[in-house]
Every structure is written in C-alpha cells, then in structure tokens.
C-alpha cells in the first residue's frame, strides 16, 4: 500500500507533464518564457526572428520545459506531430545564408554548436556522433558539398548529423498520388507552413510543406526510422538557425506541437505577417526660397561626385548576381584591410599580395588576396570560374569566401588561417617542430582535400601547385590546401601563343614540363614531393654544399635502396619525440611511388588516400628503380629560388626539347 502510494507520488509529476505547445504568433505572455539565445529575438509584431542579416551568427528558440518523448518502462518513443510557419528573407535575393531547423535536443542552448553549414546544431567534432541524441528537420538554403547537400533549397531529416538521412527539394504535392508537384522557394520571403509527423507505430517520419493553410495529403519527404534509440526519455523542443558568409533573416510566425496526438492547427491568415519588401520612397526636396545659383552650384558638386563615384564603382552586372559566392564591395574590403596597409600584409607570391583583414560588421577574420588582372577580355569567364571554385567546400581546403573586382584589380577573400603556411614549420622555425602525429594528420588531410578536388565535385579541378607553402594550417593544425584552381584562372588571362607552365620547380611532373599540360597525375606527382618534404623536413630541391642541389627523391631513394628508408626522416623526429616507424615508412614509400616519372604508373588520389588510411596495403616496391622515380632530376642544375622563375630552354636530361615551355609562372604561393 505504502509502496503504491510512493509510486503514485513519483508518477504524479510525470502525468502532469506538458505535452502540448501552441503559439499563434509570439505576442502573448507565454511566449516570454521561450528560451532564446544567440541573436534570436521576439519582435514587437509577434514574429520570432531567429537570425538577422549579420554573418556567421546563430539563434535558438526552445520551449523552456522538458518533454517526455518515451515510455520509460518500454523505452519506446511516442508519436509526435508539430506544425509551424516559417519565412526566410535573404540579404541578397536568391542567395540564402544558411538555414533553419526544427530541433529536438538534449539541451536548450546547444552549446559548442557552430553557425554556417552547422545550422547552430552541431560542430565539426561532434557531427555524426551517436551520443548527440539530436533529431532535426532542416530547411537549408545553401548547398554544402561537405554534407552532400542536393541543392540550395532543400528540406532534410537529420539524425545526429548534418548529412541528411533523407532530403528533398522544397515543394509539395497537389494531388494524393504524388504525380503533380509544385516547387517552393524557401528563401522567397513568403510564409511556408510545415508539418512534421512521427508515427511510432509505423516508425515513420514525414515532412509536409505548403504555401497555404491546408495540409497536402502526401508528404514531400518521409523516412522510415524508429526514433527510440535516438531520443532520450526527456528532450527539449525548439528551433535553430544560422547565417554563414551570406545571411538571411529566419522567422517563425507560429508553432504548434503535441506528443501522442494532433496539435492545434495553424491558420496562415491569422498569423502575424512579415512586412512586404521595403520600397524606398523617392523624395523630392524642393527648396523654393533657395537662390537659383545655389541649386546650380550644388547640382555641379553632386554631378562631379556622382561621376567620380560611377567611374570608380564596381558596377554589378546582372550575371554577377546569379552566381555563387559573395561579392564584396571594394569599400568593405578596403575598410577590412585598413586601406590595404603594408602592416596588414601577410605575404606576397606569384598571384599577388595577401592582406589580413577583419570584415566590418561580423568581425570575421579573412585573408584578402589582391591580384591585378589586366585583360578585360574573359572577365566574365574569370568570375564564373571563381563562382565555381567558391562552391567547393571541404574541411581540408581553404574556403574562398567571395570576391570583388574594381577596374583592373581582382580581390579574392579567403578564410583566415591562424597558423600560417606549413613550410614555415618545416623549414624556418626549428623551435616549432611538428610532431609526427601532426605531420601525418596534415598529409592525410591534404590528400583528402586533393581527392575531393579530383573526384568529389561536378567537374575535375586540378590544383596545379601542391606544395608545402600552399598548405595552410588552421587553429587546430589541420592542413588545408589553398590557391586551388587559381592557376587555371590565370591561364584564361594569358596569351594563348605561349604555354605557361604553372607550378613550382621540384614539384613539376616531367610530362608537365614537356607538354605544359596539368593533369590529376601531375597533381599526384606534386603531392608525392610534398609528402617527402613533410617527412624529411627538406625541400624537394635543396642547395647542397657544392654547386649541385640535392634532389630529395634521389636522396630518399638512396635510403630505400639500402633498405633503411625510415632513416630519411627529419632528424628532428625521433630525438625523444614519438614517431611510428610503420607510418613513416608508408609515407616515404608512397612518396616514391607518386614520384614515378611515368604518369600512368603513379597511383590515383583515391588510392593514395586508401594507402594512407591503411585500407589497402602498398603494392610491391621491389621493382622500383631510380630511373622510374627520378622525374625531379631535370631541375637539378637550376638555381632554386622560391619566387617566380623561368625555365631556360636548354635543360639537360631527356626532356630538353622544350622550347615551347617558355617560363614557369607562379611560384611561391605566399
């Protein structure tokens, strides 16, 4: 008796637990209890704004109470249904940034989560981890290749990750059979009504969208899953949104939610409405009493001002608005770099000067590269190329954030990499020796970035200038490949009569110096040189004591031939520092394989990644001979400078008939 009374007492708070939410607009007092963080805010008109148009921020709005999502005795998740009205207004028409999500989570503040592609839900280290206990339905307006997004206007069901379990272009079916489909534009600024239903009997999540208050019969997206292992007994429910480089305002007009039942329905016409697009009033101020002469004078002043402004303006043409990454204004970048001050100069290389900057507004740190581009012709091609490069996204690539052009100048804006370029650590700062573990991580990272360029994108992107000085280290010392695809951009602007060999001596595959043509296997060759460089702590071609340079491949091959390849490693490794002999051996041997002078015998990047991950064993190396990996020898006698240099046409070795190879452009990415 006493026992059952106790049981009753314990059961009491559970049975009285809240299982329903209803907000038709967020004006009433109960809305004040919603837990908001980040930049989320309830506006005076009763609209809940999760983010505004400031870049790289996030906003969360959660119901303050925990909801019981599971039968604690059986461990089975309950059914639930929710419906909400959202609207997304991007800063620039057609360019979203980034998206929002209905969220069931273990906390209300989602601590540690990141904005941009992480939608304020997760971060790079916990994405995909089963212990997240996160369920979300995302409304994503940017296509992220890292997470395999299908386009920049999709709805997705996300479980513990931002790689959606199922996703679909936003839209709805106008009939029951699903043969008539109507697309919806998420970032069109109009209210969209959404229903998310989880049926615990059939184990099915379904998502339905509409531009009206009537729920279409057939959901646009469903995914069979039992949420019991994903949800915990008690969870928080709410919304998350984030902005990226580009920003949108993400709004919620109403929200209704219920566990084990149908939530109250929302009626779009009774929800608060977003104000229509702002129309700038054209005001004519006519000062009748002002003397005519004054008007005339000011007209001249204004005229001169406007003329200068137009002359200097970077006029935006319509095609420039259609394409991917952000287009910055010159003023913005000038301000960010404090007028391209020398003090902000990070480096200088074949492509131009690189400045550090801080974007006004978002305080985001960026690197701004200033390239002068003389030829007016091909500008459009140039810019569309940037657009396609800007859409490449991978954790081991330095992200191109946007660009700006102004007369002959082209400014490229990149993520700022706190730890600078890798070569500095390898050669210039003996006090900052990288441990083997870090080197191996960097090599593997750069390999996966390069594989992505070769195979992961809709078109093959050849890097053309893989080398230690083009690998930048982020704050966690992850290696990120920079300057990708830029070399090809340069080709567009160059004179078609001369063949420019783009790359850096020591990393250039022999066939590349012959034909001037870069391929994925010439990238593999350069990656081979890069691996040897990182393990040995030596440049591909080093000035020796005498007049001859030491060619790293030959040098490593010497050790290989004597059966002691591991001894070629950086002498700073091993002096009391841990290193794993089998990994060092693997990377050095792989470096030799990639340095094969015959392009067809080099592995492909996909294989390189498999070897590095230990998924596949290295092939037999016993037939490897010096002649097969001596591609570097032709650069042997040349003086090596780290800046742009030219190839004299009389090179020794078998590849000397290369008079068309006039010069090697572009070296030294710094």
As annotated, the binding site for ATP includes 369
> Of 155 and 532, which CB lies nearer to ligand NAG in the complex structure?
155
Q: Within 38-57, which residues bind ligand NAG (CB under 6 A)?
A: 39, 52-54
Please count the other Cβ atoms lying within 10 Å of the Cβ belonging to residue 298: 11
Positive or negative, the CA dihedral 643, 646, 648, 652 is positive
Beta strands in 421-492, from DSSP E residues, in sequence order: 471-473, 479-481
> Of 249 and 399, which CB lies nearer to ligand NAG in the complex structure?
249
- Binding letters toward ligand NAG, positions 160-189, x by CB under 6 A: -x-x-x------------------------
If one asks whether residue 37 binds ligand NAG (CB under 6 A), the answer comes out as: no
How many whole angstroms separate alpha carbon 597 and alpha carbon 514?
12
Do residues 83 and 194 lie in contact, with contact meaning Cβ atoms separated by under 8 Å?
Answer: yes
Closest distance of CB 440 from ligand NAG, Å = 19
Q: Which stretch binds ligand NAG (CB under 6 A): 156-164, 383-391, 528-536, 649-657?
A: 156-164
Closest distance of CB 351 from ligand NAG, Å = 32
Residue positions forming the annotated binding site: 369
Torsion angle of the four alpha carbons 119, 120, 121, 127, in this order, in degrees rounded to the nearest 10: 80
Candidate list 22, 27, 35, 71; residue touching ligand NAG; CB under 6 A: 71
How many whole angstroms separate alpha carbon 523 and alpha carbon 525?
5
Check residue 397 and report its DSSP letter. B
Give residues with Cβ within 8 angstroms of 231, minimum separation 6.
69, 70, 77, 104, 133, 135
Closest distance of CB 403 from ligand NAG, Å = 22
Q: Which residues are catalytic?
A: 465
Q: Please name which of 257, 254, 246, 190 lies closest in space to residue 51, comparing C-alpha atoms.
A: 246
Which residue of the chain is nearest ligand NAG when measured via CB? 112
- Binding letters toward ligand NAG, positions 117-146, x by CB under 6 A: ------x-xx--x-x---------------
Closest distance of CB 90 from ligand NAG, Å = 12
Closest distance of CB 169 from ligand NAG, Å = 18
Closest distance of CB 193 from ligand NAG, Å = 25
Q: Please name which of 254, 288, 242, 277 lies closest in space to residue 31, comparing C-alpha atoms.
A: 254
Q: Within 314-333, which residues bind ligand NAG (CB under 6 A)?
A: none
Supply angle C-alpha 450, 456, 460, rounded to 5: 75
Do residues 125 and 150 lie in contact, with contact meaning Cβ atoms separated by under 8 Å?
Answer: no
If one asks whether residue 74 binds ligand NAG (CB under 6 A), the answer comes out as: yes
Closest distance of CB 475 from ligand NAG, Å = 10
> Of 71 and 169, which CB lies nearer to ligand NAG in the complex structure?
71
> Of 111 and 280, which CB lies nearer to ligand NAG in the complex structure?
111
- Binding letters toward ligand NAG, positions 7-36, x by CB under 6 A: ----------------------xx--x---
Phi, psi at 548, each rounded to 5°? -80, 140
> Of 85 and 110, which CB lies nearer to ligand NAG in the complex structure?
110
If one asks whether residue 73 binds ligand NAG (CB under 6 A), the answer comes out as: yes
Q: Which stretch binds ligand NAG (CB under 6 A): 68-76, 184-192, 278-286, 555-563?
A: 68-76
Rg (CA), the chain: 30
> Of 123 and 214, which CB lies nearer to ligand NAG in the complex structure?
123
Closest distance of CB 545 from ligand NAG, Å = 47
How many whole angstroms separate alpha carbon 513 and alpha carbon 85?
60
Buried/exposed code over 540-559 (b: 16+ C-beta within 10 A; e: otherwise): bbeeeeeeebbbbbbbbbeb
> Of 162 and 266, which CB lies nearer to ligand NAG in the complex structure?
162
Maximal C-alpha separation, the chain? 103
> Of 54 and 273, which CB lies nearer to ligand NAG in the complex structure?
54
Question: Site size for ligand NAG, by CB under 6 A?
Answer: 22
Please count the other Cβ atoms lying within 10 Å of the Cβ belonging to residue 182: 13
**What DSSP string runs through 555-621?**
HHHHHHHTT-GGGGS-TTSSSS----HHHHHHHHHHHHHHT-SSGGGSPPHHHHHHHHHTSSPPPP-
Candidate list 225, 231, 605, 612; residue touching ligand NAG; CB under 6 A: 225
Measured distance between the N- and C-terminal CA atoms of the chain, rounded to whole angstroms: 80
Give residues with Cβ within 8 angstroms of 359, minimum separation 6.
55, 332, 336, 365, 366
> Of 56 and 463, which CB lies nearer to ligand NAG in the complex structure?
56
How many whole angstroms separate alpha carbon 436 and alpha carbon 588?
13
Which 3 state secondary structure label does DSSP give 352? strand
Q: Within 633-652, which residues bind ligand NAG (CB under 6 A)?
A: none
How many whole angstroms separate alpha carbon 161 and alpha carbon 226?
16
Closest distance of CB 60 from ligand NAG, Å = 13
The residues that touch ligand NAG, with contacts defined as CB under 6 A, are 29-30, 33, 39, 52-54, 71, 73-74, 111-112, 123, 125-126, 129, 131, 159, 161, 163, 165, 225
């Amino acid at each position: 008796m006493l026992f059952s009374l106790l049981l009753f007492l314990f059961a009491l708070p559970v049975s009285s637990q809240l299982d329903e939410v209803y907000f038709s607009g967020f004006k009433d007092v109960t809305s004040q209890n919603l837990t908001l963080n980040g930049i989320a805010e309830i506006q005076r008109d009763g609209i809940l704004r999760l983010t505004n148009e400031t870049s790289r921020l996030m906003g969360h709005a959660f119901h303050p109470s925990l909801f019981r999502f599971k039968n604690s005795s059986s461990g089975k998740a309950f059914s639930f249904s929710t419906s909400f009205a959202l609207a997304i207004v991007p800063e620039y028409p057609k360019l979203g940034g980034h998206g929002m999500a209905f969220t069931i989570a273990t906390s209300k503040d989602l601590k540690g989560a990141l904005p941009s592609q992480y939608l304020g839900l997760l971060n790079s280290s916990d994405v995909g981890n089963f212990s997240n206990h996160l369920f979300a339905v995302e409304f994503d307006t940017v296509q992220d290749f890292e997470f395999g997004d299908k386009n920049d206007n999709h709805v997705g069901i996300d479980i513990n990750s931002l790689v959606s379990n199922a996703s679909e272009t936003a839209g709805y079916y106008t009939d029951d059979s699903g043969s008539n489909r109507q697309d919806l534009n998420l970032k069109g600024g109009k209210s969209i009504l959404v229903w998310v239903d989880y049926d615990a009997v059939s184990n099915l999540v379904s998502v339905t969208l509409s531009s009206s208050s009537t729920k279409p019969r057939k959901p646009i997206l469903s995914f069979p899953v039992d949420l019991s292992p994903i949800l915990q007994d008690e969870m928080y429910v709410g919304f998350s949104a984030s902005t990226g480089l580009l920003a949108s305002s993400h709004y919620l007009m109403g929200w209704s939610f219920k566990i084990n039942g149908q939530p109250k329905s929302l009626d779009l016409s009774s929800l608060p409405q977003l104000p229509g697009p702002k129309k700038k009033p054209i005001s004519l101020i006519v000062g009748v009493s002002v003397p005519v002469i004054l008007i005339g004078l000011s007209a001249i002043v204004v005229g001169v001002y406007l003329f200068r402004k137009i002359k200097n303006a970077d006029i935006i043409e319509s095609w420039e608005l259609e394409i991917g990454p952000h287009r910055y204004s010159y003023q913005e970048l000038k301000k960010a770099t404090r007028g391209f001050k020398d003090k902000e100069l990070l480096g200088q290389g074949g492509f131009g000067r690189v400045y550090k900057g801080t974007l006004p507004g978002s305080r985001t740190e960026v690197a701004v590269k200033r390239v002068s581009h003389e030829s007016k012709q091909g500008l459009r091609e140039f810019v569309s190329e940037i657009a396609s490069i800007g859409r490449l996204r991978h954790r081991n690539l330095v992200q191109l954030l946007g660009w700006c052009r102004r007369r002959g100048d082209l400014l490229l804006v990149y993520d700022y990499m706190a730890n600078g370029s890798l070569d500095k650590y390898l050669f210039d700062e003996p006090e900052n020796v990288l441990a083997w573990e870090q080197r191996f991580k960097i090599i593997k990272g750069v390999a996966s970035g390069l594989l992505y360029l070769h195979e992961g994108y809709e078109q093959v992107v050849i890097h053309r200038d893989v080398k230690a000085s083009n690998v930048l280290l982020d704050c966690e010392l992850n290696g990120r490949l920079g300057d990708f695809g830029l070399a090809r951009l340069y080709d567009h602007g160059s004179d078609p009569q001369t063949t420019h060999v783009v790359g850096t001596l020591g990393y250039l595959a022999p066939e590349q110096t012959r034909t001037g043509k870069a391929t994925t296997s010439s990238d593999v060759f350069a990656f081979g040189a890069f691996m040897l460089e990182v393990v040995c702590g030596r440049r591909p071609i080093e000035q020796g004591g005498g007049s001859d340079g030491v060619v790293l491949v030959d040098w490593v091959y010497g050790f290989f031939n004597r059966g002691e390849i591991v001894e070629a490693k950086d002498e700073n490794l091993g002096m009391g520092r841990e290193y794993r002999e089998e990994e060092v051996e693997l990377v050095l041997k792989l470096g030799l394989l990639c340095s094969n002078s015959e392009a067809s015998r080099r592995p492909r990047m996909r294989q390189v990644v498999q070897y590095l991950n230990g998924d596949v064993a290295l092939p037999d190396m016993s037939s490897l001979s010096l002649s097969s990996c001596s591609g570097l020898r032709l650069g042997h006698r040349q003086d090596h400078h780290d800046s742009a240099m030219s190839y004299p046409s009389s090179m020794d070795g078998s590849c000397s008939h290369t008079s068309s190879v006039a010069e090697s452009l572009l070296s030294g990415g710094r």
